Amino acid sequence: MPPAIGRWRMLAVICLGVVGVLATWFSATAIVPELIRVWQLTPGQAAWLTNAVQLGFVIGAVGASLVNLPDIAPMHRLMTAAALLAALSNAALLVVGPEGAVIARFVTGVALAGVYPPALKLMATWFVKGRGLALGFLIGALTFGSSMPHLVRAMAEGIDWHVVVWATSATALGGAVVFGLLVREGPNPFGRATFNPRQSLAVFTDRPLLLANIGYFGHMWELYAMWAWILAFAAAAEAGMHPFPFGSPSMLSFVVVASGVIGCLAGGWLSDRIGRCLTCAGMMIISGTCAALMGVFFDGPPLMLGLFALLWGITVIGDSAQFSAAVTELADSAFVGTALALQMGIGFGLTVISIWALPLFADWIGGWQWAFLFLLPGPVVGTWAMLVLRARPEAVSLAHGAR
């Protein structure tokens, strides 16, 4: 089958929209220090400004999968409406108080569930060969978008926190315009589904698909908790370190999260050549090692802390797209959107637990230095699942035979 004409241009357009909308994901997380002071939040309340987004995403993704919405509704229309909702709910932070902010963050998460899984499926209609790299670009766009609030905050030190909210709401609105006017389905569509609630569970009865999902769940246990609390770790480390890597905790957080773009592209390129399973296992081995050893450099030297954090930022997300690519290759073609939404719904459900529990673990052990040890079981279990999948004959379906 010849490559679709215009697929790289469409890839760029979709990625542009995703960057804009996904900037709302950590918009509140990036300004938590200011919100704690202004709203007098407890640590538990502050954590829910991030966790509410995760929970909203879970409800949105699982709810969409139960009615097979990603396989019934036109994808570009669903993504446009969801992006508009994300922009409005994010902007609500400007006018609500602490309780209303948690509700607004929950709605933002629901909205993002209408952008991320459909975008993955839409991208797959443009790419059959080279799908791993294409999805790597897309997850890279998600990664860069997620890092944007940290960049805005780092560049706007001393400026009112409302600037971060205004900026991320505006980019989400821009994403809605991109999805509504410029995005369309590719020439390799998946089969159209009809409403079938049983299918949302049936996609997990196949053992190879289950192993791919277990790998994803281990990956997710680590990823979002690291993204959510790297700023807290960096702020704690800054107290005893001069100069601080990249200038400030906010800039370090931006660099760490944004560096994942490199990992996504590298992971996509590698998975199309050496295999999905081998790439995912390798990334998780490195990221798990970083989680285990970050505490070694808590007190410096600054160069080593910066380099090690950068390596973790690259590898913690570098395999993410490949779990989604595996689902598009292993699942029933008529229910790929449902399979992706349910995979993400459960995976993001785990992030609610890890994000909530990590600061409690940090308090229990007496600080942030060794707190990331809590995340280590995720990449260990994920690596095991992907190596088991690689040994199964069904893995030949992945990446045109590249396991």
Backbone angles phi, psi at 6, to 5 degrees: 80, 10
User: What is the biggest distance separating any 2 CA atoms in the chain, rounded to whole angstroms?
Assistant: 60
pLDDT in tens, 340-377: 767 877 888 898 899 989 988 998 999 999 999 999 99
| pLDDT at residue 109, rounded to an integer | 93
Alpha carbon distance 51, 45 (integer Å): 10
Single-letter amino acid, residue 235:
A
Distance CA 128, CA 190 (A): 11
Q: Which parts of the chain have pLDDT scores under 70?
A: 1-4, 65-68, 70-71, 132, 156-158, 189-204, 332-338, 341, 395, 399-403
| Nearest CA-CA partner of 138 in 37, 15, 225 | 15
Domains of the chain plus CATH, in order, are: 7-401 (1.20.1250.20)
pLDDT given for residue 187 in this prediction: 77
Output the pLDDT for position 403.
Answer: 59
Q: Residue 242: what pLDDT?
A: 80
End-to-end CA distance of the chain: 21
pLDDT at 8: 87
How would DSSP label each residue in 197-232? HHHHHHTTSSHHHHHHHHHHHHHHHHHHHHHHHHHH
pLDDT score, position 111: 94
